[in-house]
Amino acid sequence: MKRPTMKDVAQAAGVSLMTVSRVIAGEAGVSPDTAARVEQAVRKLGYQRNDNARNLRQKRLGTSTVGLVVDDLANPFYALMVRSIEDEAHRRGYVVLVGSTNDEPRREREVIAAFTARQVDGLIIVPTIGGHQFLKPPMEAGTQVVCVDRPARDLDVDTVTVDNRDGARGAVTHLLDHGHTRIAYLGDRYEIWTQSERYAGYLDALTAHGLAVDPDLVRHGLRSHGDAQGALAALRALPDPPTALFSSNDVITLGVLDGLEHPTPISIVGFDDLPLAKQLDPPLTVVSQDPVAVGSTAANLLFSRIDGDRSAPRKVVLLTRFIARRSGARPVQRVSD
């Protein structure tokens, strides 16, 4: 009923506990037939080493566990990232603890505290807006940290991001190049780093074309599908509605698309690619990021830190890819009438 220990195995094999330890650890210096007897006892008892106990004693190696903390595990972008990080971890014999923060600093702290209490060797986090000073003690104690998707303002650690600003600028420029001048911006909370960057890119593009921003066309703080639909409806009800819009993330794009009749009466470019984007009418033009590359880059950074790299923190910025399909290239037309 209880979990067998090395002591039990030792007894069953008629050897000392230390001999069992050596066999289990695969160390040399055990005669082949004692080893065989031990292995037999192991099988008979269904023994498996308690790695927590092992790690307690053997501090040279870590726990071979890393923590991964993201906004929302269900978000396709993060899901892909998680998978690529888990692949890298598995390849190296590590396991990964995951947690969602929901963008709440409080939950982020709880999750990270639970992870560090379990002695993770490293942490890959998508930092919330909150502070991260609580990470100082574990970091001084040797826990490695890398940020992904966005930087933590009060943490100078390896960080992997995407050039959001450049990507957004490209998207909006595309719209401008197609003759649009009234281009709406629909984004999530401005406080989120990726969103303020993308908004900056929107501004960049307008400015480069000598256009001023019309505050009426800018909608921040869209947290959900429904929020996006609402914002779209309000935009279309404007006396001088936009002829095009830039959607700053996938859930907003989905909301917008859901609120529109077909064929789409307004030009759209979205940040983040979507599975069926190509099959839409018109096919959706997007700025796409590569979550797998982001994840594996972050994982490689983390593991090289865990392996002892103590060089200055690296800031890796990956580029986005602009995929021109057709939704941004439609002729200018008025939304209403």
Partner DNA sequence: ATGAAAGCGCTAACAC
Partner DNA sequence: GTGTTAGCGCTTTCAT
Cα distance between residue 156 and residue 141, in whole Å: 16
Whether 186 and 228 have beta carbons less than 8 Å apart is answered as yes
**Binding residues for a second copy, per CB under 8 A?**
1-4, 45-53, 55-56, 63-65, 72-76, 79-80, 82-84, 86-87, 90, 93, 95-100, 107, 110-111, 113-119, 136-138, 140-142, 254, 257-258, 262, 274-281
The one of a second copy, DNA, none whose footprint includes residue 58, by CB under 5 to 8 A per kind, is DNA
Cα 91 to its chain centre, rounded Å, is 19
Min dist. Cβ of residue 197 to a second copy (A): 24
The one of a second copy, DNA, none whose footprint includes residue 16, by CB under 5 to 8 A per kind, is DNA
> Site mask, DNA, residues 30-69, x = CB under 7 A?
xx--xx-------------xx--xx-xxxxx---------
Q: Does 148 bind DNA (CB under 7 A)?
A: no
- 3-class secondary structure, 272: coil
Whether 85 and 124 have beta carbons less than 8 Å apart is answered as yes
Q: Pairing state of beta strands 218-219 and 267-271?
A: unpaired
The one of a second copy, DNA, none whose footprint includes residue 111, by CB under 5 to 8 A per kind, is a second copy
Q: Does 260 bind DNA (CB under 7 A)?
A: no
The one of a second copy, DNA, none whose footprint includes residue 238, by CB under 5 to 8 A per kind, is none
> Which residue lies nearer to DNA by CB, 24 or 98?
24
Q: What is the DSSP string of 34-87?
A: HHHHHHHHHHHHT----HHHHHHH--SS--SEEEEEES-TTSHHHHHHHHHHHH
Which stretch, 3-11, 169-177, 245-253, 318-326, contacts DNA (CB under 7 A)? Answer: 3-11
Whether 227 and 188 have beta carbons less than 8 Å apart is answered as no
Cα distance between residue 149 and residue 184, in whole Å: 24
Cα distance between residue 34 and residue 25, in whole Å: 14
Min dist. Cβ of residue 299 to DNA (A): 26
Quickly tell me which residue has 């979205």 as its tokens: 270
The one of a second copy, DNA, none whose footprint includes residue 31, by CB under 5 to 8 A per kind, is DNA
Cα distance between residue 121 and residue 306, in whole Å: 7
Q: Which residues bind DNA (CB under 7 A)?
A: 2-3, 5-7, 15-19, 21-22, 24-25, 28-31, 34-35, 49-50, 53-54, 56-60
